[in-house]
Structure 1
């Protein structure tokens, strides 16, 4: 049973409101981002490139799919597009030749950087609407929520 806050809203209701706002922000920001992406890059493709930039090369397609919580089929499709664009290279695993590994190419790093650059005007506009100091202050909470949810998914 959750406690009521001084405003009368339950903890459950507060958490739902918060997560609902996060979902709406994700939807709106994803749509805004996709409108300014360079060339034919899609948001799912950028997300995979961003994952590889952040965490490094050599991950299996299944590991990437699990991390991004998408099906293996969806990941195979996205990786196919990225490979045809020359942004990743898919190679056999050095140890288990049946498995594959995904590496970011130089062109993939450039495409990732171009996508970030293309987002610049959107981010500048948002910085005028929401003070970056407030965003910085919210980051520890967002990171804590992400870590809690990530542990829960197993």
Structure 2
């Protein structure tokens, strides 16, 4: 058991545990992914499958993952080279691009899931299905709340100048 500083708020401890779990599980997950697939690439593939998107712009994907456009553009370029996604010009805006998942990308996601399936007993050894069923709705509520709060309206200082 790890010592916890006595003055840390409970909410901080909650997010600290999630952060540590993310780091540890992310490393294990990345090691299990098929050769040449990165965690970022899997995340893009999973995003398309999970949300059922047909096409997204790089800007929409950058916003979804809270990364810069150059970062997502680099990831998408590698994925397009590997045939996991297609990138085409947006007919409504000649400067913009649209990204879509290919059949190869969908298959790669399924292969990646298969590669990490042997890791599931690690979690199953720590938490039984009933506990997991209780925890998931709480985690979903936290995710939904954080997602809704990530793009707040800028807090503008009141205009105190005289017109």
Give me the TM-score of the superposition, normalised by structure 1: 0.89
2:68 pairs with 1:38: no
Match of 2:105 in 1: 108
Q: Secondary structure at the match of 1:23?
A: helix
Alignment of 1:108-127 (within 5 A): 108-127=105-124
Provide the C-alpha distance between the structure 1 equivalents of 2:122 and 2:56, rounded to a whole number of angstroms.
35
- Kindly state the Cα deviation for residue 93 of structure 1 after the two structures are TM-superposed: 1.2
Q: Secondary structure at the match of 1:38?
A: coil
Match of 1:133 in 2: 130
Provide the C-alpha distance between the structure 1 equivalents of 2:94 and 2:130, rounded to a whole number of angstroms.
49
After superposition, the C-alpha distances for 1:95-153 in whole angstroms (9 at most, x for unaligned) are: 22221111100100010000000011001332122212211111111111111111211
Provide the C-alpha distance between the structure 1 equivalents of 2:94 and 2:49, rounded to a whole number of angstroms.
24
After superposition, the C-alpha distances for 1:58-99 in whole angstroms (9 at most, x for unaligned) are: 100010010111111110110011111110000111322221
Runs of 4+ in structure 1 deviating by more than 4 angstroms, as ranges, are none
Give me the TM-score of the superposition, normalised by structure 2: 0.84
Provide the C-alpha distance between the structure 1 equivalents of 2:129 and 2:88, rounded to a whole number of angstroms.
41
Alpha-carbon RMSD across the aligned residues, in angstroms, is 1.4
Q: Which of 2, 8, 15 does residue 11 from structure 2 map onto?
A: 15
Give unmatched runs, 5+ long, in structure 2.
1-5, 152-163
Larger Cα Rg: Structure 1 or Structure 2?
2
Q: Which of 64, 67, 75 does residue 67 from structure 1 map onto?
A: 64
- Kindly state the Cα deviation for residue 45 of structure 1 after the two structures are TM-superposed: 0.7
How many residues are aligned here? Answer: 145
